Structures are given as structure tokens and as C-alpha cells.
Chains A and B, each alone.
Chain A
Amino acid sequence: MSIKPLAMRDAFLERIWREMAEDNKIFFTCADFGSPVLDKIRADFPDRFVNVGIAEQNLINVSAGLALEGYTVFAYAIAPFITMRCYEQIRVSLALLSEVRPMNVNLIGVGAGYSYVVSGPTHQCYEDITLMRALPNFQVLSPADHVTAAKFFDACVDTCGPKYLRFDAQVLPVIYENEAPNTSKGFHVHKRGDNTCLIATGYMLHTALKAAEALADEGLQVGVVDLFDLARFSADELYDTLKPYAGIVSLEEGFRGRGGLDSMLFEFIARRNLDAKMLNVGVEGAYHFELGTRTELHEKVGIGPQAVLNSVRAFATSLSK
């Protein structure tokens, strides 16, 4: 039986709501941002829910204070606002302070990449991977479907420390139909290929899988990896996974060449002396105001299904290994 797709936030918040009944140390904070499941949290646990208003700086500091008092805190807002509006609060009161004091604060950002399709670049988010992975002590979790998002809840409760979860705002098709991925090593291998491996995060995993399927029909086998833990993936296991490949393609719904997934993989390849060429799929470093469907917008900035198919085909066929 197939699983009905859900919004990542609803799947994740459902788990929080259930656990709040069992664990009175869970506190939920938000910056005036809702969801149907959030209504249940507000109604059932009014003593452990606060809406700070449209005030993300205070959201972070209040969450830090609650964590210092022993609460496991989930702080919830729109992705660009919960990362960039309050970046110094995140740096000082979470990344830095958690160096010396145990604190479990989980930032839930909704609206990764272009997922607020018609809301324009203020609500879209192309910089968060770069910014959040720059902070020591932070885990950066980037699921591609609601099954993975819900699975992250266990790690959020079990692992003390600041974390950033970048959720899509749309309901995405379910990728992990049969079983949630094992999140312990930080990535999941969907498919092995001949000379090229696609490494995608978030929404772009869907694009990568489609491209791989289309290329397979053409007789070209490319590997696909879902990299959902962008800070604490198992470097050794990723090395073993990537070692056979002559070409690696990064796919992210974020700016290209500005410190995101592509930069992370460049560093990884260089540090581990992998003999592989890279192709980077990401948004060219500019803001765009055009309206269109998500696919149309993606095609305009070079990360759409057709653009990816063409660029990966050209890249893979150019490799000799």
C-alpha cells in the first residue's frame, strides 16, 4: 500500500505532538507561523507552546533560554526568516553557547529553495545550506520527503545540540515508500551507476531520480545519493560510495558556487583525494522575480528536470573512466 504524501512539517509536527504527551520537557516555539498539526499542539499543550510573534530574533533567544532550563525546544518559522533574520542570535545563543552548555534547540525552517513558488525571493531560500553549515556544533538536516522528515524527529530528541531542519513548503511525492531511510550515516544510496553519481539534497533528489531514470532508458546508468545530513554524514562511508565514480554531480535548490552542497563536495573530494570531476547544479547567484510553476522557475535558472537531464547526459558521456 502506498503512503499518502504529507507536508514535511505536518509529518514532523505530528511526531512532536505525540511525544509532547509523553515527554513534558518538550517545548514548542514559533514566530507566528502555523500548520494544521500546530493547531493540535496549541490546543493540547498551551503551557509548552509560545508564539513570540513576528520576531525571529526573540524566537531564537527565548528558545535558547528554555533549552538552558532543560527543555528540548522546537522552534518553527519560515526558512529564510528563521535562518537569516536572526543569524547572530543563532550564532551567539545557539552555536557558540552550545559549545559550553548542553542545549537542545531544533530550528524547523519551512520553505527550502523555491518551495514558496509565487511568494518571490524574500520567502524563497537559496542561502540556508551555506549559512547553517558554516556554524560549528550545528546539524543541518535536509529531507526529500515527509517520511525522512518524520524520521529526523528521533535524532532531534536523542541528540542534544542545535539543529536546523530545512523543510519543503509543498507536499512532495513519497520517496521512501517501504521504509524510512537509515539516518545514522547521513545519506542513502538509491542507485548505483557506471561512471557518474548524482548527489542531491531536498527537493532536488526528485529531479535527480527522474534524470537517472530517463538516462537509464537511454542506456546510461548514473548513481543517485540522497545526502540529507549536510553536517555530520559519515565521511568514510561517503568516500566508499563515491570512490568508484569518475564524475560527481551536486544538485541543490540553492545558490551555485556560494558555499552550499557544491562547495561541501568540492572540499570533500579534495580532502579525501577522490579522483573525480564535478558538475554543480544550483541556482546561478542572482535573485529572480519571475512567476511560474516551480518547474518553470527551475528551468529558467538551470536546475529544472530538462536542464539537469541535458547537463548530466553531457557530463557523463564526456567522462572516460
Chain B
Amino acid sequence: MTNSPMDLRVKADWVWRETLAIHRRAPETRLASSLSSIEIFVALYYGGVLRFNPSNPRDESRDRCIISKGHGSICMYPILADLGYFPMDELQHVCESGSFLGGIPDPVIPGYETVNGSLGHGLGVATGMALGLKRKASNQSVFVVAGDGELHEGANWEAIMFATQYKLDNLHLIVDNNSISMLGYTDDIVSHGDLGTRLSSFGWDCLEVQGHDVFAVQAALQQQKTKLDGKPKALIAKTLKGHGVPGLENAPLSHIINPKPELIDSLLEKTK
């Protein structure tokens, strides 16, 4: 497992390129929301935060990673392949007949725990897992990666209150706070206001980071993971939807915009 600062940045850049390349081949995939979450996943999987075992994805000793914003995690495909969950060649066949790598990831993919095509379920299931781990006296943690738009689903807030009540300090919610859902900026749709303050007021330990600074994400996650203070943890990662792609980055309709293949080709060429 890589862990040095340079490696993490290099890895994030590699994942960015691979994600673009996948979208170039499979334009049905959601690119913009998969680009905002890259550093979060790189910090989790390469930054020494998560315990995992590619040769036995359901290893009891693993930390659980629930990817609640399923559609916005196409960047996990190269990460999982790179870590050995499945052969790298599978990345050539995303969305093709016979492939298990679909436009929206499902738990038939080694490394995916739950069903997350429908938004707003990951945190609740993760809360049950975190409670179950506590009751089994297991020291594993549960990480959930969710989008800020997804937090409009009310069931999240049922889970947020529950996690506080049951002192689930082994539960980590990472919000990929790219501030955009399908039809525009979340602030213009139904604003979360100051999300950090809001979550803190619900009793969560809350940190905010620049979500494309992979080292900041890594440091925050590591800090929170060791803090067993009875509080569930939230890390709000300020990110940009469509990060690094001109015309897509932070565009209000980036969720449904597909960059032209020529643009992707030129970006891949430039960043070779």
C-alpha cells in the first residue's frame, strides 16, 4: 500500500485520468460527481485510513466503506482494480454486456458493500453496521461517502440523530460537498446552510477540509478515526463537481453534461 505524500498525489492524478478514460469509453457513467470524490477515496484507500483485504473483500477485520453516492464513484473502479479487487482489464469494459462494472456501481462489484444506486440509504445501513460492530465488541470503523445533494433525503437525518443517540464514534460520514445536485446548486434548491454547524448541532464531531487536498483529507480522517469520544464523525470535504475539466468544473448542470470526447482526449494527452 502506498502512503507517502508524493504517492498520494500521484495516485489521485492517475485515478483522475483513469476516470476520464472510463467515461470516454462509457459516456453513460456520471463523470462530474465521480471527479469530485477522487481525493476522498484515494485518502481512504491509499492513505492508511481504511483496513481492507482485496483477496477477501468481506474479511471480518476490514473497515466497512459504504459508498452511498454510488453513481458518483466511478473513480473507485480504477482504485479497486489497482488494489487487486479485480483485473485491470475490466476497466476496458465498463457498461458493456457481461461486465459487472455498470453505469452505477452495484454490490456485485468486489469492494462494494451495499446497494447505492438509490440515494440516501448508505448512511442508515452504515449506522446499523456501526451499531452491530459495537455490540460485537469489534474495533472496525464504518466510513460512508455521501454527496451533499443526497443529504436532502430525510432518512439521512433519521440516521444522523440515531448515531448520536447510540454514541457511534466508529461511524464516519464523509460528505463530498460539491454543492451541486442534478439541476443546480444545492444552495438554490434546498440549502443545507452551514452544514458543519448543522451536523455539530446534531451532536456530531465535525471537521471541514478542502476536499481536493488529498493530504488534508487523509490527515482529517486519521485524526477522527482515533478519536473514540462517543461522537459520530463527519468530514465535510469542500469539492468541485467536474474537478479539473474545463466547462464541467462547478457548472450547475455538470451532472448531466458530458464533455466532448475530443476534450477528454486532449486533457488525457496534456496530463500524460
Q: Does B254 contact A (CB under 8 A)?
A: no
State whether A61 touches B135 (Cβ < 8 A).
no
| B132 contact from A61, A66, A92, Cβ within 8 A | A66
The stretch among A95-103, A140-148, A156-164 that forms the contact with chain B is A95-103
Q: Which residues does chain B contribute within 8 Å of A50, judged by CB atoms?
A: 131, 166
Rounded to whole angstroms, the CA-CA distance of A48 and B123 in the bound complex is: 20
B162 touches A52 (CB 8 A): yes
Q: Are the CB atoms of A69 and B133 closer together than 8 Å?
A: yes
Q: Give Cα A205–Cα B118 distance, bound, in whole angstroms.
A: 39
Task: Tell me if A93 and B114 are in contact (CB < 8 A).
Answer: yes
Set A47, A93, A97: member contacting B135, Cβ < 8 A: A47
Q: How many residues of A sit at the interface, in one of the four size bands?
A: 20 to 34
Chain A residues with CB under 8 A of B114: 64, 68, 93, 97
**Which residues of chain A have C-beta atoms less than 8 A from B162's C-beta?**
52-53, 55, 58, 62
Known: A61-B121, A61-B159, A69-B129. A48 touches B107 (CB 8 A): no
Q: Is the CB of A65 within 8 A of B128?
A: yes
Nearest CB on A from B131, distance (A): 6
Among B115, B128, B154, B161, which residue has its beta carbon within 8 angstroms of that of A66?
Answer: B128
Report which residue of B107, B128, B132, B166 has the largest number of chain A beta carbons within 10 angstroms of its beta carbon: B128
A71 at the interface (CB under 8 A from B): yes
| Contacts across chains A and B counted by CB atoms under 8 Å | 96
Grouping DSSP codes into helix (H, G, I), strand (E, B) and loop, the B interface class, with mixed when no group exceeds half, is helix
Nearest CB in chain A: distance from B133 CB, A:
6
CB-CB under 8 A from A52, the residues of chain B are: 158, 162
Interface pair B127/A89, CB less than 8 Å apart: no
A57 to chain B: closest residue by CB = B155
Instruction: Give every chain A residue within 8 A of B127 (Cβ-Cβ).
Output: 58, 61-62, 65
Annotate A96-129 by CB proximity to B: 1 below 8 A, 0 otherwise.
1100110000000000000000000000000000
A89 engages B131 (CB within 8 Å): no
Q: Bound state CA distance, A148 and B8, in angstroms?
A: 59
Which residues does A use to contact B, with CB under 8 Å?
27, 47-48, 50, 52-53, 55, 57-58, 60-71, 88-89, 92-93, 96-97, 100-101
Given A65-B128, A89-B155: 12 more A-B contacts, CB < 8 Å: A27-B135, A61-B121, A61-B155, A64-B128, A68-B129, A69-B136, A71-B135, A93-B114, A93-B115, A93-B124, A100-B108, A101-B107
Closest 4 CB pairs of A and B: A65-B128, A61-B124, A69-B132, A58-B158
